[in-house]
Amino acid sequence: MRMTPTTPASVPDTAVLLVNLGTPDAPTAPAVRRYLAEFLHDHRVVALSRWLWCPILHFIILPLRGPKVAKKYAQIWMEGGSPLAVHTRDLAAAMQDRLPGLRVAWAMRYGNPSMAATVAALRADGVRRIVLLPLYPQYSTTTTASVTDVAERLAREAGDALRIDTIVDYHLDPAWIAAVADSIREHWAQHGRGERLLFSFHGIPQRLVDAGDPYRTQSQASVDAIVAALADVPGFEPAQAMLTFQSRFGREPWLQPYTDKTLEALAAQGLKRIDIVCPGFAVDCLETLEEITVENDALFRAAGGDALRYIPCLNAAPAHADALAALARRRVEENR
């Protein structure tokens, strides 16, 4: 965790805490099983009765999926750790450079560094207020709400000694929209434009949206805003953009259209070159670097396509750090 050097007398009492989903500590079956066990025990993620779910999880899912998922992580593992951890750390460091009067730290909802340990370290270093920024541009009960569950518990335990202000979404933040649009525009300038532009977001069960989760609405709003920002690109038409959802799990219906099925259908229609971007992910991770660029690329080619061209997440790009630092700074100033 990188923080700006300070003397005890000058340590800021306000911190910005970035929280991402999480990652195993290593690309091994035991590490993946530990990570998935924590992740899939969360009621926000799986709402089944624990009496029903825990035996399925521990005796079927973890033994089967642990080794398979570990192999996928091994394909994308970086020298400094998993891509999600490396890019989240680098984004926090870039934001620290832009927020010299504040502390910037990062943590994971599941796995390490944990939210509890990170908040404890900040408190021990004199922090009394935290601006919490879950790295999910679009709000969902399965992601952002789970982070706030932990934050609220930690705030209760601290009492008056700690205040936590949460930025619950930034799906229409103008600077973030511009950063995503610029990354697409830059990709097209370097590689040319595909026949379609797919926006692939992580899916959630349809029943959650039916119950009021705003995730699909916010995802569509983000896509609409990014597409509008690309209106100056010669020859690009909004109809060439499509919203899809990936990473479904289990048998119940998830948000549709599904990314993989859409790619198969586009290939069957004779389309050869598809650009795909994942603005629901702040940084690259297993779902983008393996699921999209390996699995879905192979699927698209097998169905008759020539090139599925992935446009990377914003990661620690200057425009991304600028946008999120400005977002955090505004929240600090609004609630002094």
Residues annotated as binding site? 202, 287
Integer-rounded Cα Rg, in Å, for the chain is 20
Task: Please give the annotated binding residues for Fe(2+), written as ranges.
Answer: 202, 287
Note the helical H segments in the chain: 29-41, 50-56, 62-76, 83-98, 115-124, 144-158, 174-191, 206-210, 215-229, 259-268, 286, 297-302, 318-334
In angstroms, the CA 228 to CA 243 distance is 14
Q: Which two tokens stand for residue 194?
A: 């595909």
Q: Do the beta carbons of residue 140 and residue 25 sit within 8 Å?
A: no
Closest-CA residue to 268 (of 308, 242, 301): 301
Contact 305, 264 (CB under 8 A): no
Query: Cα(161)–Cα(174) distance, rounded to whole angstroms?
Result: 34
Q: What is the distance between the alpha carbons of residues 119 and 223, in angstroms, rounded to a whole number?
A: 34
Q: d(Cα 279, Cα 326) in Å, to the nearest integer?
A: 19
Cα–Cα distance for residue pair 140/146, rounded to 1 Å:
9
How many CA atoms are closer than 13 Å to the CA of 44, on its beta-carbon side?
18
Lateral strand order in the sheet of 129-134: 103-111, 14-23, 129-134, 163-166
Angle at alpha carbon of residue 90, lines to 319 and 336, rounded to 5°: 70
